[in-house]
């Protein structure tokens, strides 16, 4: 599943692809890192390589890398290489794109350059390469002031292939008029085949941005940026304002490309263990040698500061899911800060922002969140360094309109209080500790993290190498604090108190907002139509037919480079695991190069939990580490967690069995990490949570409930397809039913009800009942990932932990009668077991559910019950889903239908699901799914199509796993290396015959068992159709 996480930065980015696996690996040990560094050290400043001159070579030991900065002599293109012993190599090129209107020109350009180029003239090479490569990441982003094209792969040949396609796409795109219509906007007959059907606006970006603006958080962030920097590029919408998009012409698009996508305006970044020289050579030969330097005009001037603060108000659509319908306003105060290219100042201000806003000990949290004036901080909060001059924002969402002045006053008073009393030393230490853990944590997407970390500052000519040297900033920070104990308070005085460049922006719902949007679009449409002559209309009709014909054509992608199935490693690298015990509790140990961190997890079964408490489990999980424990109140607990751990969290789990459709495991997963030296302290915190959690503070619970409910409500417009899929599958398997309870629209509505309750005491009373079933060593198994030395130490600590919590050991009866015991260790079947639930009488039901929501777009899904992971047909269904997506559904749902995305996917629990994302169509998309099945059954696909689907699947199957996550599929799902190897072999073996066979047997009308769900705006067709359940 690809539920999106949201950050302030991501808010204003338009990401091209959804659902791609982010995945990286680093097999670094200190020695190996030194080896990669040594190779990089052979470069010296002044050296010339393939048209580039080396400017600087800098070792960055804290990140185990060597940075090499170069400039391209003829064009002035800038280049940064980070040599690191990581096989997951990354390339990215970014251009400074600074639009001066809201037609979305950089965003539409980002889409259209990926519609074919000189050397690779086939349509949509980008999507096609997904199936011809083992890439671990491929994407494109349009930010407010730059556009970035990154990819990563572990295969050297693949790197060259992708580099060639990327270079040709950005520097030599075809930019055909037809591409502009398809991706940008066009007027077209609603039914392109019918010249008398009404003319409407169509286009991928047009629909994407309508979807994006239906998200109130995004809308607010956009307004805030536009109004805080009103004098240049930040005053416009780089992604495109839906009604301004139809003002863009094809000529303007081509112009923008010529002036912005030029080497003189480009920054190249490469990362990993492949040799730099080869990259430089290829980039010079295939692209840069064909250009001369130009004078670019993309510099962003500083925003002239205001003489006095400003206030603005905007409106949005009401949110049906809001936790409190009467409180739906947002208000926040935003301050313009200094230039982000001042690395140390930016570092200081982001730390300062965390001290002021993050966690229950932060002054703004105490002053704004705890009085419960609003549901949560405003969607934009804290330090934001994504614009040339940074900003700090603070405010609330979910407030009553009449509380606006109250919020403003609290913000002023809190600023004064911070200036007066500063921060406790311990909080500053906790924050620096957190920074240390962040540096040490081996993410599986390190190259990409670096690329996005440096992108903004580098974009405005900041020094990216200085940014990487985080330890320098930490040292300087400590020195500054030592020299001036009021160092941070002085910053608050200067940047907040005395800053007249600040904006107070409020937003409140307007019941007629959506109607106004619709009529504004209608006016725009009529304006355009009024200007058309009869021959123009005829022309539009013919263009529409031509576009449809082009979209329906079988496409020849043979011009694109490709890997072959034989390039895929036949066997999988095994992960050694050691099964042991801590006390009586089963423990899985996995030794990994974790850089001195220990990752501790525990899975606790839900089998004995009474059914009436199930709906409360997600709430229990989200509050159990935040209410206080033992002698610590929730503030002290938060402080200890920050000082001693990287993170402690609990999440509900529904894990389908790999062999039986009607068997699953239910539980909650405890996850945590810390430095080796802090393991005993972290386990003490867990022991306190087990032995003495505090459930005595309804006011604290109210704060947490409001925040969770708000987060869930805000997430629907991002993850509507996930909710639709969860719902579509909810009556098909017993696991599906529980998943809907934990993670579906049922849960969203339940949390809304809880948030509306005036008295939470009854809810509070549920929590200890859940606790005694869940936090119980009788029902538990643990896993530790650590360095070899850390792993052996942790067994001892865990034994102490088990002794500490032994008093909580209780035997309860399982609630459901049919339980199945499965050995945890396949090599020791008489050893410890986990308990699964079986429902042999389960009858899957067909159901069509429609959720009416205030969105202008739909999320559509159909799920079909098929076979579980270890069934012999599972691999064929995986290949089929991938192939149908790439070869049929993408074209129908996105290109013809105008949705942002769509496809099919096969999940381990045995559900084959179709979905669409931000889709202008609803029931029509269901018939596109049906046509997809007909297409599959017709067998109109080639061996090449099958091979491409396999490559694409293997790039996910073989995506790198971070050291912290190794062994997790065994721990959670019981899927061993042997089982994965068997699945791998079956994937290799899938034939055309297998695909036809599974399409017929599982997906055909008549033989399929399925469910359907749509989330979307009011829908007359569905209302009139009694086969739908409308919610
Ligand atoms: Zn886009």
Distance, CA 716 to ligand 1 centroid (Å)? Answer: 19
Calpha distance 446→443 (Å, rounded): 6
Q: What are phi and psi of 239, to 5 degrees?
A: -75, -20
- 714 CA → ligand 1 middle, Å: 20
Provide the β-strand partners of residue 615.
Answer: none
In whole angstroms, give the CA distance from residue 91 to residue 89.
7
Residue 900 pLDDT: 86
C-alpha of residue 130 to centroid of ligand 1, in Å: 17
| Residue 540 vs residues 33, 187, 789: alpha-carbon distances, Å | 59, 7, 70
C-alpha to C-alpha distance for 393 and 304, rounded to whole angstroms: 19
- pLDDT tens readout for residues 289-316: 999 999 988 999 999 999 999 999 999 9
Give the Å distance between the CA of 212 and the centre of ligand 1.
10
Please say if the pLDDT value at position 11 is more than 60: no
Distance in Å, CA 198 to ligand 1 centroid: 26
Q: How confident is the model at residue 808, as a pLDDT?
A: 67
| pLDDT > 80? residue 458 | yes
The whole-angstrom separation of Cα 326 and Cα 316 is: 14
User: Is the pLDDT confidence value at 809 over 80?
Assistant: no
The string over 561-594, giving b where at least 16 C-beta atoms fall within 10 Å of a residue's C-beta and e elsewhere, is bbbeeeebeeeeeebebebebbbebbbbbbbbbb
In this prediction, residues 540-565 reach a mean pLDDT of: 88
- How much distance in Å is there from the Cα of 458 to the middle of ligand 1? 23
CA of 249 to the centre of ligand 1 (A): 18
Residues 6+ apart with CB under 8 A from 770: 609, 613, 616, 617, 620
For 309-327, give the DSSP string: -EEEEEEE---TT-S-TT-
Residue 211: predicted pLDDT = 83
pLDDT in tens, 679-729: 999 999 999 998 999 999 999 999 999 999 988 988 888 889 999 999 999
CA 296 to chain centre: 33
Residues recorded for the chain: 1031
Cα 329 from chain centroid? 26
What percent of the chain is modeled with pLDDT above 70? 96
Per residue in 586-620, pLDDT (tens digit) is: 999 999 988 889 999 999 998 889 999 999 999 99
- Distance from C-alpha of 920 to C-alpha of 995, rounded to nearest angstrom: 31
What whole-number distance in Å separates Cα of residue 879 and Cα of residue 875? Answer: 6
Output the CA 859–ligand 1 centroid distance in Å: 17
Q: What is the pTM of this model?
A: 0.88
Q: How far is the CA of 452 from the centre of ligand 1 (A)?
A: 18
Q: Report the Cα 100 to chain-centroid distance in Å.
A: 29
Q: How confident is the model at residue 990 (pLDDT cuts 50, 70, 90)?
A: very high
Cβ atoms of 852 and 1018 within 8 Å: the answer is yes
Q: Which residues contact 426 (CB under 8 A, 6 or more apart)?
A: 639, 643
Query: Average pLDDT, stretch 32-61?
Result: 81
pLDDT digits (tens, 9 = 90+) for 190-224: 999 999 999 999 998 998 898 888 888 899 999 99
The full DSSP string for 991-1009 is: -HHHHHHHIIIIISTTT--
Distance 239 CA to ligand 1 centre (A): 7
- Residues facing 60 on adjacent strands: 65
What's the confidence (pLDDT) of residue 552? 79
Average pLDDT, the chain: 91
β-bridge partners, 911: 865
Query: If you average pLDDT over residues 865-882, what whole number do you get?
Result: 96
Q: pLDDT tens for residues 494-551?
A: 999 999 999 999 999 999 998 999 999 999 999 999 999 999 999 999 999 999 898 8
What per-residue confidence (pLDDT) applies to 38? Answer: 53
- Ligand 1 center to 479 CA (angstroms): 44
Q: Identify whether the C-beta of residue 833 lies closer than 8 Å to the C-beta of residue 822.
A: yes
Residue 903 CA to ligand 1 center (angstroms) comes to: 17
Model pLDDT, residue 13: 53
CA of 539 to the centre of ligand 1 (A): 27
715 CA → ligand 1 middle, Å:
19
- In the structure, what pLDDT confidence band is assigned to residue 14 with cuts at 50, 70 and 90? low
The residues with which 666 forms a beta bridge, in sequence order, are 654
Helix (H, G, I), strand (E, B) or coil at 752: helix
Residue 342, exposed/middle/buried by CB under 10 A (0-12, 13-18, 19+)? middle
Gap from CA of 111 to ligand 1 centroid (Å): 6
Q: Can you say whether the dihedral through the CA atoms of 727, 730, 736, 742 is positive or negative? A: positive
Strand pairing category for 848-852 and 1029-1030: parallel
Active-site annotation, residues: 110
- Per-residue tokens: 122: 């086939």
Distance, CA 890 to ligand 1 centroid (Å)? 15
Distance of CA 370 to CAs 67, 364, 410, 760, 1015, Å?
45, 9, 12, 15, 34
């Amino acid at each position: 599943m690809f539920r999106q996480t949201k950050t302030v930065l991501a808010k204003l980015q338009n990401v091209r692809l959804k659902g791609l696996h982010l995945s990286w690996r680093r097999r670094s040990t200190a020695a190996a890192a030194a080896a990669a560094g040594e190779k990089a050290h052979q470069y010296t400043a002044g050296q010339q390589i393939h048209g580039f001159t080396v400017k600087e070579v800098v070792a960055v030991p804290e990140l185990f890398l060597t940075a090499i900065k170069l400039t391209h002599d003829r064009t002035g293109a800038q280049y940064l290489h980070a040599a690191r012993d990581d096989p997951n190599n990354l390339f990215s090129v970014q251009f400074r794109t600074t639009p001066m209107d809201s037609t979305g020109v950089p965003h539409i350009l980002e889409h259209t350059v990926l519609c074919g180029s000189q050397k690779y003239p086939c349509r949509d090479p980008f999507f096609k390469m997904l199936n011809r490569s083992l890439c671990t990441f491929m994407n494109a982003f349009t930010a407010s002031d730059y556009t970035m094209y990154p990819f990563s792969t572990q295969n050297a040949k693949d790197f060259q292939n992708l580099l060639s396609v990327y270079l040709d796409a950005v520097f030599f795109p075809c930019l055909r008029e037809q591409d502009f219509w398809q991706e940008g906007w066009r007027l077209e007959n609603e039914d392109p085949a019918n010249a008398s059907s009404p003319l409407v606006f169509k286009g991928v970006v047009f629909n994407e941005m309508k979807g994006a603006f239906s998200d109130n958080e995004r809308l607010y962030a956009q307004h805030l940026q536009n109004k805080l920097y009103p004098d240049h590029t930040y005053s416009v919408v780089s992604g495109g304002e839906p009604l301004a998009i139809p003002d863009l012409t094809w000529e303007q698009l081509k112009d923008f490309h010529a002036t912005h996508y030029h080497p003189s305006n480009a920054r190249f970044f490469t990362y990993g263990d492949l040799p730099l020289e080869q990259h430089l050579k290829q980039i010079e030969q295939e692209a840069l040698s064909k250009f001369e330097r130009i004078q670019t005009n993309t510099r962003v001037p500083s925003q002239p500061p205001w003489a006095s603060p400003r206030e603005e108000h905007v409106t949005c659509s009401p949110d049906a899911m809001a936790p409190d319908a009467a409180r739906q306003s947002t208000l926040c105060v935003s301050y313009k800060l200094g230039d982000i290219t001042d690395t140390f100042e930016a570092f200081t201000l982001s730390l300062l922002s965390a001290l002021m806003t993050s966690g229950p000990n932060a002054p703004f949290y105490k002053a704004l969140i705890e009085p419960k004036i609003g549901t949560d901080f405003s969607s934009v909060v804290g330090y934001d360094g994504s614009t040339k001059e940074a900003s700090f924002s603070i405010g609330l969402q979910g407030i009553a309109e009449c509380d606006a002045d109250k919020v403003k006053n609290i913000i002023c008073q809190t600023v004064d209080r911070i200036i007066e009393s500063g921060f406790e030393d311990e909080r500053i230490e906790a924050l620096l500790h957190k920074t240390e853990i962040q540096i040490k944590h081996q993410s599986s997407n390190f190259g990409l993290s670096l690329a996005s970390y440096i992108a903004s500052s580098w974009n405005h000519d900041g020094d990216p190498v200085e940014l990487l040297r985080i330890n320098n900033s930490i040292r300087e920070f400590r020195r500054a604090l030592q020299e001036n104990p009021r160092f941070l308070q002085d910053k608050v005085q200067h940047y907040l108190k005395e800053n007249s460049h600040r904006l107070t922006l409020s937003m409140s719902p307007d019941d007629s907002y959506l109607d106004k949007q619709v009529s504004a679009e209608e006016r725009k449409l009529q304006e355009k139509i009024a200007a058309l002559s009869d021959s123009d209309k005829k022309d539009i009709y013919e263009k529409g037919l031509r576009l449809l014909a082009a979209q329906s054509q079988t496409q020849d992608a043979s011009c694109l480079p490709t890997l072959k199935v034989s390039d895929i490693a036949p066997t999988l690298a095994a992960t050694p695991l050691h099964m042991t015990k801590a006390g009586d509790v089963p423990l899985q140990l996995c030794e990994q190069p974790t850089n001195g961190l220990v990752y501790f997890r525990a899975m606790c079964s839900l089998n004995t939990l009474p059914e009436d408490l199930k709906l409360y489990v997600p709430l229990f999980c989200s509050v159990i580490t935040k209410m206080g424990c033992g002698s610590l109140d929730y503030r002290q607990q938060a402080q200890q967690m920050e000082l001693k751990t990287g993170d402690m969290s609990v999440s509900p789990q529904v894990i389908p069995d790999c062999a039986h459709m009607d068997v699953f495991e239910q539980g909650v997963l405890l996850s945590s990490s810390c430095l080796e030296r802090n393991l005993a302290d972290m386990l003490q915190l867990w022991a306190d949570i087990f032995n003495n959690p505090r459930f005595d503070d309804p006011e604290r619970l109210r704060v947490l409930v409001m925040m969770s409910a708000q987060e869930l409500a805000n997430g629907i417009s991002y993850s509507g397809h996930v909710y639709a899929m969860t719902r579509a599958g909810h009556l098909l398997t017993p696991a599906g039913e529980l998943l809907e309870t934990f993670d579906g629209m049922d849960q969203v509505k339940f949390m809304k009800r809880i948030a509306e309750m005036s008295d939470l005491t009854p809810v509070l009373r549920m929590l200890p009942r859940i606790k005694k079933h869940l936090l119980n060593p009788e029902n538990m198994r643990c896993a530790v990932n650590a360095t070899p030395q850390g792993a052996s130490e942790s067994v001892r600590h865990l034994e102490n932990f088990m002794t500490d919590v032994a008093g909580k050991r209780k035997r309860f009866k399982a609630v459901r009668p049919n339980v199945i015991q499965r050995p945890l260790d396949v090599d020791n079947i008489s050893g410890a077991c986990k308990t699964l639930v079986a429902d042999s009488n389960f009858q899957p039901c067909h159901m069509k559910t429609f959720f009416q929501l205030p969105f202008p777009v739909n999320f559509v899904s159909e799920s079909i019950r098929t076979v579980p992971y270890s069934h012999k047909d599972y691999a064929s269904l995986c290949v089929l889903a991938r192939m149908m997506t790439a070869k049929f559904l993408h074209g129908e749902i996105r290109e013809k239908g105008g949705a942002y995305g769509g496809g099919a996917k096969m999940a381990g629990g045995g559900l084959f699901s179709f979905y669409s994302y931000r889709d202008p169509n609803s029931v029509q998309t269901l018939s596109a799914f049906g046509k997809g099945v007909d297409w599959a059954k017709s067998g109109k696909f080639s061996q090449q199509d099958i091979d491409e689907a396999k490559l694409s699947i293997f790039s996910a199957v073989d995506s790198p796993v971070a050291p912290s996550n190794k062994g997790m599929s065994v721990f959670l799902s019981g899927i061993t290396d042997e089982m994965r190897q068997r699945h791998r072999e079956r994937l290799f073996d899938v034939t055309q015959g297998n695909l036809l066979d599974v399409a017929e047997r599982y997906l055909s009308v008549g033989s399929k068992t399925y469910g359907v769900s749509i989330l979307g705006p009011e829908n007359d067709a569905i209302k009139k159709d009694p086969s739908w359940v409308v919610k």
